[in-house]
Amino acid sequence: MTKGYTNVRSPKMVFVKPLKRDAQSILSGATLDPLYRTGGSSVMLGAAHMHCLPYFFADIPDPRRAQGRRHRLSTVLAIAAAACLCGMRGYKAMADWANALSPKARERFGCRIERGRRTVPSESIIRSVLIRVDPVHLDRALTRWNDAYGMGDESLAIDGKTMCNAIDEHGQAHIMSVIGHETKTCYTQKKWAASG
């Protein structure tokens, strides 16, 4: 629970109530039990995962102009998704992860051949594709992949956020997400506006 504002004149106070009786001893131990560790969840992708991932994006319409396309949309999306699954956050981290792929991994993702070598999409290409692709199509493709290869969750968390300055004809925009506790997978997101 919080009280106050986050400006300089009135600092925000945070009130914490332990949800577990021995929380202080658990958190102050030399090492934290894996059961309580959170943070960058990552998945180890095998050869089969890398090979099949582009197929889940194959039917997504390409928002780019035909002129100048160097990489297939399915390859760019598969590499971006795989990088996220392996714990990468941000366009630069995704591009660095892609650059570190072995020649065999690049072949599995279907990377194009240029001067005898398979090349990966650059940071700017990954960024351009991700901000232009239809998020509904992307969400469906990722959900299909997760249904086929995901680890599964025993419990789900529902979280909502109010989008600052995101006001349209229906009012202030809100986003509701359903996230898996174990895998940190976002199963779905819905936008709605409060009726005024």
Q: Is 102 exposed, middle or buried (0-12, 13-18, 19+ CB in 10 A)?
A: exposed
Q: Are residues 142 and 170 in the same domain?
A: no
Distance in angstroms (rounded) separating the CA atoms of residues 81 and 150: 13
pLDDT for 26 equals: 75
Q: What is the pLDDT, as a whole number, of residue 74?
A: 92
* 59 and 132 share one domain: yes
Q: Structure pTM? A: 0.60
Structural domain count, the chain:
2
Same domain, 140 and 162: no
- pLDDT the model gives residue 196: 47
Q: Do residues 145 and 163 share a domain?
A: no
- Are 134 and 168 within one domain? no
Per-residue pLDDT of the chain (196 residues; tens, 9 = 90+): 455 555 556 666 666 676 777 777 777 766 666 666 665 555 566 777 778 888 999 999 988 888 878 899 999 999 998 888 887 888 999 999 999 999 999 999 999 998 999 999 999 999 999 988 888 898 888 888 877 776 666 677 777 777 666 666 666 677 777 777 666 667 677 766 555 4
Does the residue 31 lie in any domain?
A: no
Single out the residue in 114, 129, 149 at which a domain terminates: 149
Crossing angle for the helix pair 73-85 and 123-132, nearest 10 degrees? 100
Domain containing 74: what range?
47-149
Both structure tokens of 155: 């419990």
Instruction: Give the phi and the psi of residue 156 in degrees, each rounded to 5.
Output: -125, 150
Task: Say if residues 189 and 175 touch (Cβ distance below 8 Å).
Answer: yes
